[in-house]
């Protein structure tokens, strides 16, 4: 059984030593959520996976030695987190949000500050334009308050505009703010006070280490957590090319509901929601529209998805993988994404061997992962 599996719904419980190794593994170079999962399922423990990283990357063709997170740095991060009242929650532990766990690239470890009880409530994401209109602000406030009073926790990204307005409106009932950087690096800086208010009834959440300053590429990664936490995502205002539409697309890929507030065709900030409505998103004008749409999904009990979204890699030991088989697997890959199961079928090589080679390529920076358990070579 994988460490990620929890057939009785009671959650796993990591020891302090395991927690240290989990954090060290996910903080190491080239180890993202999907790679972390495959490493744990293949080697059994994070400690064994860490020991195997250099050889795996070398066999995959890495140009230089892979950087493994320094043990002292990880210990310092854990000590700092404890000092700041921040809790580290590993996937599968009781406090880890069940709906977030269901996405393909769920973060193995999250850092949380505030009231963990907020993570137990069903969530709705509200996102939108940073330069929102007065009408957009009013709509976000009304939706957040009404949905909060209906028992939902409001999730968003603490950005300027609609995100911040939604958080403020949901302070009384509870809201979760997902950061693109470390929990000690509030962005934007003017939301420092808001972040402190959020922790009184809700919480701040991030997958990034403390001290991490968010980069441009970190915001889409944050967005997939915002949508992953939630049963559905509401877009209030958004331009045609915006982070809010990225969140909407991520929600669709995660099999979550997408709601859009219509707006004037003459307002560029309404272009995104209007486009989503044309593509099949649910048009909403009040919280009741959202509640009616979500009611069939969960009734009154708000159950988590039945699928875990996590694939357990084969655990059989791969004996003497030949260079011929390794070359056959690599040659079968291309720049276009292909399903891993198809790769196994076409090559006729055992699944364990295929997953091992994919790990090697991944750690060498030669593999790209795509939704639907698809992979491709990096150009």
Indicate the domain borders of the chain. Answer: 16-97, 100-298, 323-377
Q: What is the pLDDT of residue 288?
A: 97
Q: What is the pLDDT of residue 310?
A: 35
Angle at 212 between CA 209 and CA 218, to 5 degrees: 95
Angle at 195 between CA 160 and CA 271, to 5 degrees: 25
Whole-angstrom Cα distance, residue 342 to residue 348?
10
Q: What is the pLDDT of residue 112?
A: 98
3-state SS of 294-326 is: HHHHHCCCCCCCCCCCCCCCCCCCCCCCCHHHH
Distance of CA 32 to the CA centre of its chain: 11
State which H helix or E strand residue 110 sits in: strand 109-114
pLDDT in tens, the chain (379 residues): 344 544 334 457 788 899 999 999 999 999 999 999 999 988 989 999 999 999 999 999 998 999 999 999 999 999 999 999 999 999 989 999 999 999 989 999 999 999 999 999 999 999 999 999 999 999 999 999 999 999 999 999 999 999 999 999 999 999 999 999 999 999 999 999 999 999 999 999 999 999 999 999 999 999 999 999 999 999 999 998 888 999 999 999 999 999 999 999 999 999 999 999 999 999 999 999 999 999 887 644 444 444 433 333 444 556 568 889 889 999 999 999 999 999 999 999 988 889 899 999 999 999 998 887 899 998 7
Residues 6+ away with beta carbon under 8 Å from 91 = 4, 101, 106, 107, 108, 109
Q: Which CATH architecture has domain 100-298?
A: 3-Layer(aba) Sandwich (3.40)
State which H helix or E strand residue 86 sits in: strand 86-90
pTM here? Answer: 0.89
Domains 100-298 and 323-377 in one fold: no
Between the CA of residue 38 and those of 22, 50, 166, 216, what are the distances in Å?
13, 12, 37, 27
Query: Could you give phi then psi for residue 267, rounded to 5 degrees?
Result: -100, 115
- What kind of fold does domain 323-377 have according to CATH? Arc Repressor Mutant, subunit A (1.10.10)
Q: What is the pLDDT of residue 313?
A: 41
> How are beta strands 203-206 and 109-114 bridged, if at all?
antiparallel
Question: What is 233-283 written as a DSSP string?
Answer: EEE-S--SSSHHHHHHHHHHHTT-EEEE----TT-GGGHHHHHHHHTTPEE
Largest CA distance in the chain: 66
Residue 113: strand pairing partners: 86, 204
């Amino acid at each position: 059984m994988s460490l990620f599996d929890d057939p009785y719904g009671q959650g796993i419980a990591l020891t302090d030593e395991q927690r240290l190794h989990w954090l060290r593994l996910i903080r190491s170079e080239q180890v993202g959520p999907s790679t972390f999962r495959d490493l744990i399922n293949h080697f059994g423990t994070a400690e064994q996976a860490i020991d195997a990283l250099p050889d795996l990357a070398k066999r995959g063709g890495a140009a230089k030695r892979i950087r493994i997170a320094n043990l002292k740095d990880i210990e310092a991060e854990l000590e700092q987190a404890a000092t700041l009242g921040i809790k580290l929650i590993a996937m599968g532990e009781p406090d880890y949000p069940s709906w977030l766990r269901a996405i393909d690239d769920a973060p193995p470890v999250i850092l949380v500050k505030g009231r963990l009880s907020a993570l137990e409530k069903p969530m709705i994401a509200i996102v939108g334009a940073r330069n929102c209109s007065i009408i957009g602000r009013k709509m976000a406030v009304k939706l957040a308050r009404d949905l909060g009073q209906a028992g939902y926790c409001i999730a968003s990204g603490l950005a300027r505009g609609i995100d911040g307005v939604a958080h403020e409106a949901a302070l009384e009932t509870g809201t979760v703010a997902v950061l693109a950087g470390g929990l000690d690096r509030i962005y934007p800086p003017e939301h420092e006070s808001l972040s402190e208010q959020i922790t009184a009834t809700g919480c701040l959440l991030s997958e990034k280490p403390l001290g991490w300053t968010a980069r441009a590429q970190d915001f889409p990664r944050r967005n997939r957590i915002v949508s992953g936490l939630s049963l559905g995502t509401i877009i209030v205002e958004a331009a045609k090319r915006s982070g809010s539409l990225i969140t909407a697309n991520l929600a669709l890929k995660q099999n979550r509901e997408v709601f859009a507030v219509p707006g004037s065709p003459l307002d560029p900030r309404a272009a995104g929601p209007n486009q989503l409505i044309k593509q099949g998103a649910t048009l909403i004008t009040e919280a009741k529209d959202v509640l009616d749409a979500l009611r069939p999904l969960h009734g009154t009990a708000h159950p988590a998805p039945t699928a875990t979204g996590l694939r357990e890699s084969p655990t059989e030991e791969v004996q003497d993988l030949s260079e011929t088989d390794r070359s056959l697997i690599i040659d079968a890959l291309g720049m276009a994404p292909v399903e891993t199961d198809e790769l196994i079928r076409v090559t006729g090589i055992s699944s364990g061997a295929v997953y091992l080679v994919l790990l090697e390529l991944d750690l060498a920076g030669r593999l790209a992962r795509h939704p639907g358990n698809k992979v491709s070579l990096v150009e």
